[in-house]
Amino acid sequence: MSLPSTFPLLHDIRPDDISMSPFIVSTTRGFLPRGDPITKLPDAFSALENLLQRMPIKKLDGEPGLLANGKFGDAVLADLPDLTDVILKHAYDMVLITALYRDYSFLASAYLLEPCHERHVKGEEYGLARDRLPKNIAVPLNTVSKIAGFKPWMEYAGSYALYNYRLEDEKLGLEYDNTRLIRAFEHGLDPSSSEAGFVLVHVAMVRHSGELVDGSLQVIQSCADGNRDNFNAGLAKVVSAMTKINKTMNLMWNKSKPGDYNSFRTFIFGIAKQSMFPNGVIYEGVSPEPQFFRGESGANDSIIPLCDNLLEITMPNTPLTEILQDFRSYRPGNHREFLEWIHYRAQEVGTKTFALQDANSAKWYLQALDQVRDFRWRHWTFTREYILKHSKHKTATGGSPIVTVSYSTCTSLLLGGKRNKHLLCTSAVTLELLGSEV
Ligand code: HEM
Ligand SMILES: N[C@@H](CC(=O)c1ccccc1NC=O)C(=O)O
């Protein structure tokens, strides 16, 4: 099959156009939304806004909120009308619908996982979560998810991470110190907290993905044209963007402390493959059948998959391959289409072969690979320091088995020599491998 030689990528991000999804890949904003998320809901949604502001363990004013003392579940049942009809009147406004998706997915996670949080703070295991999502959350969440094209459960891009930042001062843009969270479970409304740091470092990294997208397109196009100089310049942009992304990633250690991670992590688990939800969740008013969705995860970020696809880094077939395939459906539709297009076009034009035919191109290509290796090594150290050293829970938020299974078989399949292991494996596979080795 021959693919279109160009991808309909946005060069003009049209931040004020509310008829399009906020998540359209562009050469300027990369994988960030086209425009910064709206931070306060219109008055028609004041009951929802009010509940969200009262929800976090520490509210914006520093006082304890509803999750601090197990009062959130009762407040949901008492104070939240079913706003589905109001939502349907705004179905044309994709920017608002995406903000509502973020907000209802926060409510759903907080509501169902509140009992697990209560046990976790007492030093106990998570135990069972609530297993029924009440109609006043379930129906609106299902409605906005359908319109926005997300799963009706919190996602990385459309909710917790990439649609959850605001600028303290509009003029100062996306500089790290100028960003704040819109919604939080724990202490995240305090910008110096580990929850804020965790999310805002992701945003600060993805901020550099415009240059990565731009460079990737140039690599594909110039390879198809046989234009060596442009090809090298495209790879140089990829290296430049990835160098910035990796440097920013290193901020995580300072902005979000490993020992703090597990307290807000309770709220970002999924409802599939988790001991807290052995029978999934009934969405009241939506379906009598239990629902199962993976939790959000950086595995749904598009930076590393873009590099893998562009540079033709091949993935070995392991028990985790299927899980990683499944993660793909938890990305915004346009991110997914773009990654697929890069995947097939890179093979069609032969980026790797073209790079290795020339010493200068090969140098740039290897530098790009080295950035991917750098990312994956640091990512593994995050997993070790933030999760494995502090948690006995066997499954990561996205539902991959983090510490249990012995992956020795796939280790030998994958590695084919220790030196290239971080390059060959996806991050999730890498951590499994190293988890069983280190
Ligand atoms: C303290 C910081 C982090 C921790 C503890 C962490 C942890 C994890 C874990 C446990 C997984 C396994 C997947 C699952 O089941 O959920 C994962 C996957 C992944 N994470 Fe992270 N992560 C962190 C930061 C990041 C950042 C900053 C990014 C990039 C923006 C990222 C990108 C990825 C990717 C791309 C995957 C796997 C998908 C693949 O390799 O194809 N992570 N992470
Ligand atoms: N899978 C991780 C969480 C995680 O990965 C994540 C969750 C929300 C936003 C970004 C994330 N980043 C990294 O992979 C975990 O199990 O803790």
pLDDT at residue 231 greater than cutoff 60: yes
Give the dihedral of Cα atoms 265, 271, 274, 275; nearest 10 deg: 100
Tokens of 360: 């200068």
Describe the crossing of helices 94-121 and 135-148 by its angle, rounded to 10 degrees: 130
With CA atoms as reference, report the closest residue to 22 among 94, 86, 70.
94
Encode pLDDT of 282-336 as tens digits: 999 999 999 999 999 888 999 999 999 999 998 777 777 788 888 889 999 999 9
Ligand 1, atom 35: closest residue by C-alpha: 299
Average pLDDT over residues 253-259: 98
Distance from the Cα of residue 430 to its chain's centroid: 18
Query: Letter for the amino acid at 432?
Result: E
Any residues with CB less than 8 A from the CB of 188 and at least 6 apart, and which?
56, 181, 195, 196, 199, 264
**Which 3 state secondary structure label does DSSP give 184?**
coil
C-alpha–C-alpha distance, residues 385 and 325, integer Å = 26
Tokens of 146: 């359908």
Encode pLDDT of 147-172 as tens digits: 999 999 999 999 999 999 999 999 99
Tell me how far the alpha carbon of residue 329 lies from the centroid of ligand 1, in angstroms.
Answer: 16
pLDDT recorded at residue 317? 79
pLDDT recorded at residue 412? 31
Residues with CB under 6 A from ligand 1: 202, 205, 249, 252, 297-299, 301, 303-305, 324, 379, 382-383, 386-387, 396-400, 402, 426-428
203-207, 233-237, 323-327: segment of lowest average pLDDT: 323-327
CATH class of the 297-437 domain in this structure: mainly alpha
pLDDT band at 425 (very low <50, low <70, confident <90, very high): very low
Instruction: List phi, psi (to 5°) of 314.
Output: -85, 145
Is position 120 annotated in a ligand binding site?
Answer: no
Cβ–ligand 2 distance for 397 under 6 Å, the answer: yes
154-158, 259-263, 377-381: segment of lowest average pLDDT: 377-381
Domain locations in the chain?
43-172+181-199+261-283, 297-437
Instruction: List phi, psi (to 5°) of 132.
Output: -130, 130
Cβ–ligand 2 distance for 375 under 6 Å, the answer: no
Encode pLDDT of 49-75 as tens digits: 999 999 999 999 999 999 999 999 999
215-224, 253-262, 318-327: segment of lowest average pLDDT: 318-327
Instruction: List phi, psi (to 5°) of 291.
Output: -105, 150
pLDDT recorded at residue 433? 40
Average pLDDT over residues 244-266: 98
C-alpha–C-alpha distance, residues 13 and 239, integer Å = 24
Query: Letter for the amino acid at 236?
Result: A
Question: What average pLDDT does the structure give for the chain?
Answer: 91
Longest dimension (CA), the chain: 68
pLDDT recorded at residue 406? 34
| CA distances (Å), origin 4, targets 150, 214, 310, 342 | 26, 18, 16, 11
pLDDT recorded at residue 409? 30
C-alpha–C-alpha distance, residues 247 and 254, integer Å = 13
pLDDT at residue 2 greater than cutoff 90: no
pLDDT at residue 430 greater than cutoff 70: no
With CA atoms as reference, report the closest residue to 130 among 287, 267, 286, 260.
267
Cβ–ligand 2 distance for 426 under 6 Å, the answer: no
Ligand 1, atom 29: closest residue by C-alpha: 298
Give the dihedral of Cα atoms 105, 32, 261, 154; nearest 10 deg: 20
CA atoms within 13 A on the CB side of 323: 22
pLDDT recorded at residue 437? 36
